[in-house]
Amino acid sequence: MAESEAEVPKAKPRPIVRLGIFLISHSCLFSVICCTAGVLTLLLLPVLAKNTYISENALMPGSANPMFSSQEVSEANRLVKSLTSLDSKPVGSGIESQRLIAEYMSDLGAEISYHKFYPRSNQFHPLHFFSYPDSGSTRENVSCISHGLNTVGIIRAPRGDGKEAIVLVTPYNSLKVGPGEALSLGIAYSVFSLLTQVTWLAKDIIWLVADSRYGEYAAVNAWLRDYHMPVFSGLSALKAEICPVSNVHNELKENSVTERKINDGFRRAGTMATALVIKVTDGSEHFEDSLSIYAEASNGQMPNLDLINIVNYLAVHRQGLRVKVEKMRSLINCKWLKILGEILQSLGHVAKSLNPQWKFGIPAKDYVEGAATLASSLYYQALGVPTGPHGAFRDYEIDAITMEISSRVALNNKARKNDFLLRGGRLIEGVIRTVNNLLEKFHQSFFLYLLTSPSKFVSVGVYMIAFALLVASLPVVAASLYADAHKVDPSFGIDKSTPQASATDELSITPRSCKWLNAAKKVFLVHLWGAVVSFLPYFICQIPSCTPTTSFVVWVLLSSFSLPILSLILGSSFSYGRPSQPQKRDWTLLKSVTISAAFIGLCLMSVINFATAEIGALLMVPMCLMAQPLKLDIRSRKLRKFLRVACNLALGFLGFPPAGFFVLKGAFEGFGGITVGDFWSWLESIWSWSSATYLYIGMVHLPCWVLCIHVLFHPC
């Protein structure tokens, strides 16, 4: 009977289990393959980019002939001339320009209103990361003249029901209107004038003349905030709000004809379908008139790709403009990138010779340009800071872009100026007419993408492959380290692979769990410390007259002292003592839990902002995988081990956020003007915009770096 029971064959594990066991047993090789494949996939993204296309059939860009003519050009010139003449009146020029624009709007029969706002502070506050957009407070000690005043005009669509609207935004400094700002106002006014006469308009048109004396974004965001939140006070109430003796609005309403057309209250139209921010720069191009498109909003948000495709198609194929998107200029002359482009170009020729249908590879010049554009798109999305006032609209789920039109030559020549205004006006008209065809919001095309040129993009299904390959090895290596830590139990000195292990399995559960819990407790402590470090700037900002360098030094000192204090409070030792024999291999469990925490943090960040997670994975994954006590490698006295020591020290240095920032800044901009306070200023720029990248640095990257350094100097 016993022999028959012994002869019963054991059940084979399932294929997925066998695969997991195989990967865990070969985790080192698997991690090398995955990391190499992830980096190569990232470098191949410019080659894998596809041509853009318009997904929504109802848009039909360029299907109608433009109605914008020389008559509208003369209207634009009239406003530009009037605004330019105000430059000679420094006193009260802000009020004069606002009154002038309101008069021009009233002549067209538009509904006019003024929007008064006050500058808001950008001081760090931890709760702003989880609150409504622009939840900052009004600056203290504002004076009666320290407010901005937006001018708003609304055209009601003859074929619409008032439920949808298209927004035109022209930022300008009301205290001193520059030539480019005057031209942008002229183009917007001429298009606005045309739209009051057309019969095909099905969406209301809002023209927001944003007073940018306190910043373009601040003016637009203040208007959007009041547009989407109820305001129960009109101009008369606003007068008595802070400055009861203020007569600004009385001055603006001096003209009795205009006064009757200005609404005493906040005027609204329908739900915003899209928004276009119009800007003009003068004489910056060497070859031809160009259009620069800025699309990045806060935390990596992008408008629907169809909006960019519409603008690109009409600008190139209808108005003959050269469309540009932002590039990382320092990569254009990068030698290794050019060599890589030439290699890929040669591989493309070989593939085409083998099979003409294979379209792998692009010209080396196009690869370098695409890589520079891709790097810029990745950087600005990861930074989480909007690249223009259009970013305020994305916080309210409104698709918007900034269109910056540049002239090839200075617009002193009248004929050249008229041609520029004609092309700019027809471009804006074409975009509005195309969006007017939509029966619903943009939804067909992509919201998650990276641009490699104005006409090429990488979709989410392609660029996520690089990230997935980079982080795929983390859970496998974490499982392998956990298995290695318990293969030989130091507490009992018994090899778990021997038959004697079965008798002590129950006894080994408790010490094994305790060791894992101790490592998890240490990892939790460091991540809790990271949260404390992330909130320290709120208190540092309260110090009066503190320079960026001083703030950075205070932040580093407080962060250094807070870790041992926190470990004492929670009763978890983070210092090295004289380890006993069982504790000498505890670093494997600590590394296993650290890698698991890094994997979870990167995956969560990829949902919030993929670009941040991608850049973070490039820095963190090699650092976490290679971390091993330096003492073990130094003892062996082998060349391979010393190379690993060098790699660990280099990765530990670059993984420290301030050090990595200074190295990258020096590589792209030069080391000449770098100061210690630059890192603090950079942090201020991202926390003032409530960028999730700030939380990632403080609560994911910095704790994992500290734990990796702890592993490196473990006294095993």
For the chain, the structural domain boundaries read: 53-88+106-122+146-229+258-326+387-452, 327-384, 512-575+583-713
Which residue, among 443, 441, 432, has the nearest Cα to 202 in the 3D structure?
Answer: 432
Percent of the chain at pLDDT > 90 equals 43
Question: For tokens 């003032």, what's the residue?
Answer: 688
Identify the weakest region by mean pLDDT among 200-214, 224-238, 373-387, 588-602: 224-238
CB contact set of 46 (below 8 Å; sequence gap of 6+): 362, 366, 367, 370, 371, 374, 452
pLDDT at 215: 87
Higher pLDDT, 250 or 173: 173
CA distance 151 to 114: 5
Report the pLDDT value the prediction gives residue 436, as an integer from 0 to 100: 92
Residue 360, pLDDT > 80, answer no
Taking the C-alpha atoms of residue 684 and residue 232, their distance in angstroms, rounded to an integer, is: 35
Span 204-211, average pLDDT? 94
Residue with the bigger pLDDT between 117 and 144: it is: 117
pLDDT of residue 242: 43
pLDDT band at 236 (very low <50, low <70, confident <90, very high): very low
pLDDT value, residue 152: 93
Angstrom distance (rounded) from CA 290 to CA 323: 6
The pLDDT-based confidence of 688 (bands split at 50, 70, 90) is confident
**Which is more confident, 61 or 174?**
61
What is the residue type of 560? S
Radius of gyration of the chain (CA): 31
Question: What's the average model confidence in pLDDT over 162-169?
Answer: 92
Its pTM stands at 0.86
Sorted by sequence, the CB contacts under 8 Å of residue 466 that are 6+ apart come out as: 38, 39, 41, 42, 45, 614
Mean pLDDT calculated for residue range 56-76: 89
The whole-number pLDDT of residue 587 equals 87
Average pLDDT, the chain: 83
What does the pLDDT average to over 423-434? 94
The pLDDT assigned to 539 comes to 85
Q: What is the pLDDT of residue 358?
A: 77
Mean pLDDT of 131-156: 67
Is pLDDT of 604 > 90?
yes
pLDDT class of 503 with cuts at 50, 70, 90? very low
Task: List pLDDT tens digits, range 464-490.
Answer: 999 999 999 999 999 998 888 766 444
pLDDT in tens, 262-274: 766 788 888 999 9
- What's the pLDDT at 252? 53
Confidence tier at 504 by pLDDT (50, 70, 90): very low
Residue 576 phi, psi (nearest 5) = -90, 125
Q: What average pLDDT does the segment 689-714 reach?
A: 91
CATH node for 53-88+106-122+146-229+258-326+387-452: 3.40.630.10
Q: What span, in angstroms and rounded, lies between the C-alpha atoms of 592 and 32?
A: 17
> Is the pLDDT at 496 greater than 70, yes or no?
no
Pick 672 or 367 by higher pLDDT: 367
Angle at 585 between CA 496 and CA 482, to 5 degrees: 55
- Kindly state the average pLDDT of the residues 398-423: 86
Give the pLDDT score at 353. Answer: 83
Q: Which residues of 385-416 are buried (b: 16+ CB within 10 A; e: fewer)?
A: bbbbbbbbbbbbebbbbbbbbbbbeebeeeee
CA distances (Å), origin 29, targets 23, 33, 39, 241: 9, 6, 16, 69
